[in-house]
Structures are given as structure tokens and as C-alpha cells.
Structure 1
Amino acid sequence: MKIAIIGSRGYPYVYSGYETLVKELSERLVARGVEVTVYCHKALFSERPPKINGVKLVYLPSIETKILSQFIHSFLSIIHACFTDVDVIFAVNSANGPFGVITKLFRKKTAINVDGMEWLRPKWKGLGSRYFYFASWLATKLYDQIINDSEEMRKTYLELFKKGSVVIAYGANVRKSEKPGLIEKWGLTPNDYYLVVGRLIPDNNADLIVEGFHKTNSKRTLVIVGDVPYKDEYSLKIKAMADRDNRLLFTGYVTNQNELAELYHNAFAYFHGHEFGGTNPTMLKAMAYGSCILALDTRFNKEMLQGDKYGLFFTKDSNSIAALILDIEDAPDKALLMKETSEKGITAKYTWDHVANQYLEVFNRLCPQRKK
């Protein structure tokens, strides 16, 4: 069987949840005898080998702008893939919904991972929001198989678009702390800081978490890992908060995965403010790396944390965050217990091998004559 994957920045470039999915899935499909081609953003790769770890790579250009880059690259990738002999085109991101018209014309079998409710994200105001809603609706009409990453998101698509979908979560690899000394580069010591990981965008609510933390007299540091690859008013506003609270530490991107893992392992608690979407890879890492998780109260986060079994919740209010910080600092033994048990939340459905098996089942159903 031959699979083409479009819609990410490429392989093995890991920047977000989509790239992590593409990397982990591609390698496992190749190991199962599937021929996988990943379409990559040419501008992001100074070296462009035709194959890495058995994964075939195609590098195509785009117009490198914040809004159009991925859209144009996906369009060119779909066109290219349709002129090849691939059996299934697998797209990530519901923005690629309209391109299903092209695959229909070429009679290619398709599947799409539609991700979260992009149309609700503050960064896509006005026309952008309307486009994502329209594209998501089109995806349900034009693609052969819709894939959602959580049961709650499946319900959302069923309610809004009257379309059923297969639920396949993201995965995570359980990992123990190996080199706690790696956090010393930021002047940190174990259990002496809170951690936030994610892009500095409004729907991740880093500003709310900072405001809540600012209202406390905690002696710990709040470490914010992440940034955005462009300058905007929101990210600059958050970074400026460090000027009025010396307990804030902005690391920017942390690309060394061992360093990032140790930041998770050694944090007193991890804050998860992500508001829209289903299964979140950042939350999965927090569980897999043994974090005490303090999460925004959403139905998606509660699904991942199995209610309050593996996390504590705050509402979208800085006072709620401040109160939770005070509670957890008054009960450090509770935080320690949560750190010791959180990895148990990585059940079978959140393992990459299980995720790969589910995707392979989908592809086999779409092309039974090429079944692997």
C-alpha cells in the first residue's frame, strides 16, 4: 500500500502536534511494510534527502506568509499526489477540506484528520473563522473518511455537520527523568517552578495563567516554554509581563527534547490552558512525563484526564487560577502523588503503536485490495 501525507510542515521536522503525528505514524507504517510519502515545506529544509528512515520525501515550495504558507503548500501537494500512484491521500488539518474536490476528480481515496474547532480560535477572526467552518463542513462531504482525535470532537462533528467519524487519539511515550541537571541552564531546581508549554496564542490562555499566578505570593517561578514564529501584539504583551513580576521566566522555544522532558519531569505542576481542540499532544506529554496537571475546565481536557482522575481544574478566570495555586501549595503531598500517578493516564489508546494500528485499519478499509 502507498500512502501520501499532506498538510504538515514535513518530516522529520517537529514543530507541533501534526508534525509529531506525521513522524510517529510514518515510521511505524514503514515498519509495517507501507510505502509512505510525506510532503515537506521546501524552505524549512536546508538539506533535502529523498528518503529518511524509509519515509519518502517530496519538497515543494510555497509563499512563506503567516496565513497562506500552509494553504498553498497543501494545494500543490494535493495536485502532485494526485498525479502519482498512491493508494490513499491522508491530509491533516480541516483547512484542506476544499481540496477534496481535486481528489474526487482523480478518484483518489482520502482520509483527513480535522483536528479541533479552528473556527473558534481568536486568531482566525472574521473571514478566517468563516473559512475554517466552511472548510470543515466541506471535508465531511468530500473526504472518504473523517478522523477526529477525541470522542468529544466526534460528537461536535456529528452535531454540527451530521457526519460520523473515526476517533484516533494522538500518542505519547512514557519517559522517566534521566538528567534533571539539564534544567540548571535556566537557573531552575526541581519542584521549584510551575510550567506552561505551548504557542503564545490567545486560545492557549498563557496570559490568564500569568495573571492568576501574579495574584499569588508563591515563591516559585512560572516558566513559560514556547513562542510564535512571528511578532504580534498578543505575544509581546505576555512577554512584557515579566517586567512587573520577576518570578516569570520565558524560555522561548525549547527544541532539545531531552531538555523539554526534564522541564516537565521536574516542575512542581504543569498548567494546561488550551481551550479548543480534542486530544492535545502537550497534555499527553505532561501525563507521560509525570506531571501534576492543572488544566482549564473543558470537556476535551476532562476526557483526556478521565474526569479529575489525573488532574485538577480551573475556570477561565484568573482568580480561579490563583485559588488553585494556593490550594496545591498548601497540599504539596497531593501534587507529589499526582506526579507519581499521572503516567497511568497514558492508556492503550494513547500509545503510538495503537494509533498506528488504527490508522492502518482505516487505510485498509479504504483500499482493501492493497491491504497490509
Structure 2
Amino acid sequence: MRIAFLSNVVYPFVTGGAEKRIHEIGTRLAADGHEVTVYGRHFWDGPEVITHDGMTLRAVAPSAELYTDDRRSITEAIDFAARVARPLRRQLNQHKHDLVDVSAFPYFPIFSAALAGVGTDTPVVTTWHEVWRDYWEEYLGTLAPFGKAVERVTAHVPQYPVAVSGITADRLAGIGPTRESIEVVPNGIDVEQIRTAPRPAENERFDVLFAGRLIADKNVALLLEAFDAVAAEHDATLGIVGEGPELDRLKRQAQQLEHADRISFLGFLEEYEDVLGHMRAADAFASPSTREGFGITFAEAMAADCTVIAADHPESAADEVIGDAGYLVKPTADAVASALDRALAGERPSGDPLSRAERYDWDSVAQQAATVYERALAGKW
């Protein structure tokens, strides 16, 4: 197969979940003999077209700021979509690609792919990491109707939709394609890399760990309260990895807690393996997030043989990812504290986290993606 990915950001030059997924799937498909091209912004040094890890990277736009006031820039997304349409159209007219895979967010490149493919019968596969629906009101405020409208219109563009979880597929079906037409291909992890990541020094380890963007939906404030309730009994420490708009408020909250001296904010860790090492060293990984389109940190923590504590919530895919290999609790301080108490006492979930994590290894995910692409090409979706 000759596969084209559209992504304004390209891993490892920009690090994030969607672009990492493309990199991990793309490099494995390229190693299997498929021809893989990634269209993106020019975030790397050197010429606009390079070969990297077996894939062709083709810059169709210069590098640009992705965020405005801590929100993804709409103008950047529109600019990339406008710039990618013409070069992709040329390549499709020359039959250089059999299939195009576009990350659904930030939406506009999907329209570019659809227009570029007119008259070529090139399947457009879309990968949906989340479907926001009412979350647009929190994210955009008075501009929420614009976000909702773009998301809904995008869902109705002719496409072969892929969701990263069942809950994301269900949400997508609520605004566009039928549930039966949506394939689920989860996000992935490198199990071997996680299991061999070096642990931090003894004096830098934490009994409980959180890793993620510090936003309201992650409910780190709730975790701080829950941890404070059990910290003394277990002589425990809490490490919080990540940055975000909630950071200052969370630090102020932590300073008011009885066991503030047991809580450390580690910020954003540049080296991914440092995060994995902290997971391997911790007894529990706790993230009572109430909104997760997938929840990659849960899979990573399970591969690190860490007891996972997550929120059981209708807007979170945590139950799909964890199953019986972790603790799913109500998103309340008391429920999280109870789960922390069990984990810190050495109690383990009924399922095996290591075995559960295996299903999300990138090798398995890449095989699933290849099968989906073959079905789209054969018209057997």
C-alpha cells in the first residue's frame, strides 16, 4: 500500500499523542514494505522533503505557532488545510497514494483531503481521538456554536472513520456516521520500552504518580485531596508530572494541605523515558479524569506494572482501557482515597496489568491499522 498521512505536526519534531500515533504506525508499515508519506509543517531542519525512519516527510507549510492563549489556533489549522490541498491533489492525480489518513482534529485538513481526492477514488480514512460535542462550551465559551458546527459538518464528510476507543466511536455516531461504519483502532504503547525504562534514583521516587496535562477535566485537585487523606498512614509521597492552566491553582491548593511536604510538582519532563521510569518506580498511578477519549497513560502505567486508579465516568474510556486490571472508582475524593489506601497497602486488582497492556503494543495496533486500510481499499468497510 501507498499511504499518505496528513498532520500539521510531525513526530518527533513536535511531540504529542496524535503525531506519535502516526509515527509509530507509519514506521512499522514502512518496515513491512508499505510506502508511507507524511504531509506536515516544516518543523525539521533541512530540505522540505526528507526520509525519516523509513517514511517520506513532505513539508507543505512552514512551521507555525500551534496555540493561541492556551487553545489550538484556528487560523493555523485553516492555513495548513489550505496549503496541503494543492500538493496532495497533484500527488493523487499522479496516483502516488492509494489511501489518505487524516487526524480528525483540527478538522479542516479532512476537507482538504476530500477535495484533493475528488475524481480519484482515493479512500480518506479519518482518525478520531475525541468528539467534543458539549465540551466546546467549556473550551470556546461564546464561540462554542462554531466549534460544534465544524465538528458536526466534518463528521458528515465522506470518509472511512476510525475511533481510538468505543466511547469515542459512540460519540461520533451521535453526530454523523452510523456506529456500524466506525472502526476502532486503539492508541498504542511500546511495551518493551516501558518495561526497560530506567527508574529514577531512590530519593526521587514517588509512591503515587499522576502524569498528564493539568486541566480541569483531569481532576488533579480531587486527587490532591484524596492523597492528603491517606498520606500519613502509608508514609506516602505524590509526584505530579505535567503542565497546564491549572498548575498555579493546584500548587496553591497543595500548599494548604496537611501533608503538603509529601507532594512534588515535577513539571513537564522532556524525556519520555523519565516519565516511564517514574511509573515503574511508583506503587500507584492515579488519574481521576472524567474526560478521556482513550487514556494512553493508563496503558503505559499498566505496562509499568503500576496499579492504576481511574474514574468511572460516562465521558471517559478508562473502563475500556483498564478493564479489571485496575481500580475504577467514582470521581470523588473519598472514592479515590479508598482506592489509594488499597493500592498503597499492596492490594492488587483481579486482572493482570501486564497482560492487559500487551493488547496496546504498537506492533498490534499497526497490524489493526493495516487491516482497516486494506478493507477501505477493497471497499469492504
Bin of the TM-score, shorter chain as denominator length: 0.7 to 0.9
Aligned counterparts of 1:205 and 1:79: Cα–Cα separation in 2: 43
Q: Report the CA distance between 1:139 and its aligned residue.
A: 2.9
TM-score, normalising length from structure 1?
A: 0.84
Is 1:110 aligned to residue 124 of structure 2?
yes
Q: Which has the higher contact order (CA 8 A, sep 6+)?
A: 1
Structure 1 counterpart of 2:248, from 232, 236, 240? 236
Residue 174 of structure 1 corresponds to 191
In the superposition, relative to structure 1, how do residues 341 and 13 fare at CA in structure 2: closer, same or farther (>3 Å)?
farther
* One-letter amino acid of the counterpart of residue 321, structure 2: M
| Alpha-carbon contact 2:156-2:176 (below 8 Å) kept | no
The alignment partner of 2:367 has SS state of helix
Aligned counterparts of 1:84 and 1:312: Cα–Cα separation in 2: 49
Structure 2 counterpart of 1:73, from 41, 56, 80? 80
Q: Report the CA distance between 1:2 and its aligned residue.
A: 2.4
Residue 283 of structure 2 corresponds to 268
Aligned counterparts of 2:356 and 2:230: Cα–Cα separation in 1: 30
Aligned counterparts of 1:179 and 1:256: Cα–Cα separation in 2: 11
Is 1:188 aligned to residue 204 of structure 2?
yes
Aligned counterparts of 2:177 and 2:107: Cα–Cα separation in 1: 19
> Which blocks of at least 5 consecutive residues in structure 2 are unaligned?
none
Residue 333 of structure 1 corresponds to 346
Residue 28 of structure 1 corresponds to 28
| Alpha-carbon contact 2:104-2:110 (below 8 Å) kept | no
Percent sequence identity is 20
Structure 2 counterpart of 1:93, from 92, 100, 104? 104
Structure 1 residues 45-84: Cα deviation after superposition (integer angstroms, max 9, x where no partner): 3456711111111232254133324453344334432332
Q: Report the CA distance between 1:258 and its aligned residue.
A: 2.7
In the superposition, relative to structure 1, how do residues 98 and 261 fare at CA in structure 2: closer, same or farther (>3 Å)?
closer
* One-letter amino acid of the counterpart of residue 53, structure 2: N
Residue 61 of structure 1 corresponds to 62
Aligned counterparts of 1:63 and 1:127: Cα–Cα separation in 2: 26
In the superposition, relative to structure 1, how do residues 317 and 80 fare at CA in structure 2: closer, same or farther (>3 Å)?
farther
Aligned counterparts of 2:46 and 2:226: Cα–Cα separation in 1: 44
In the superposition, relative to structure 1, how do residues 128 and 213 fare at CA in structure 2: closer, same or farther (>3 Å)?
farther
Residue 173 of structure 2 corresponds to 158
The alignment partner of 1:171 has SS state of coil
> Which blocks of at least 5 consecutive residues in structure 1 are unaligned?
none
Structure 1 residues 182-234: Cα deviation after superposition (integer angstroms, max 9, x where no partner): 345xx324xx5210011112222222212322344433111111114xxx4x2
The alignment partner of 1:51 has SS state of strand
* One-letter amino acid of the counterpart of residue 182, structure 1: P
* One-letter amino acid of the counterpart of residue 154, structure 2: A
Is 1:198 aligned to residue 212 of structure 2?
yes
Query: Quick check: 69-78 or 14-23, which moved more?
Result: 69-78
| Alpha-carbon contact 2:187-2:296 (below 8 Å) kept | yes
Aligned counterparts of 2:332 and 2:136: Cα–Cα separation in 1: 18
Residue 220 of structure 1 corresponds to 236
Aligned counterparts of 1:121 and 1:264: Cα–Cα separation in 2: 32
| Alpha-carbon contact 1:29-1:356 (below 8 Å) kept | yes
Is 1:320 aligned to residue 335 of structure 2?
yes
The alignment partner of 1:138 has SS state of helix
Structure 1 residues 11-40: Cα deviation after superposition (integer angstroms, max 9, x where no partner): 333622212211111101111222212233
The alignment partner of 2:40 has SS state of strand
In the superposition, relative to structure 1, how do residues 277 and 122 fare at CA in structure 2: closer, same or farther (>3 Å)?
farther
In the superposition, relative to structure 1, how do residues 146 and 277 fare at CA in structure 2: closer, same or farther (>3 Å)?
farther
Is 1:253 aligned to residue 268 of structure 2?
yes
The alignment partner of 2:204 has SS state of coil
Aligned counterparts of 1:143 and 1:239: Cα–Cα separation in 2: 46
* One-letter amino acid of the counterpart of residue 334, structure 1: E
Question: Could you list the runs of 4 or more consecutive aligned residues of structure 1 that deviate by over 6 angstroms after TM superposition?
Answer: none
Structure 1 residues 225-249: Cα deviation after superposition (integer angstroms, max 9, x where no partner): 1114xxx4x2321233443312211
Structure 1 residues 286-314: Cα deviation after superposition (integer angstroms, max 9, x where no partner): 111211001011252111122xx111123
Residue 141 of structure 2 corresponds to 126
Q: CA RMSD in A?
A: 2.9
Q: Report the CA distance between 1:177 and its aligned residue.
A: 4.7
**Matched ranges for 1:33-52 at <5 A:** 33-42=33-42, 44-46=43-45, 50-52=50-52
The alignment partner of 2:299 has SS state of helix
Structure 1 residues 120-151: Cα deviation after superposition (integer angstroms, max 9, x where no partner): 26751335543443333223321420101112
The alignment partner of 2:352 has SS state of helix
TM-score, normalising length from structure 2?
A: 0.82
Q: Report the CA distance between 1:170 and its aligned residue.
A: 1.4
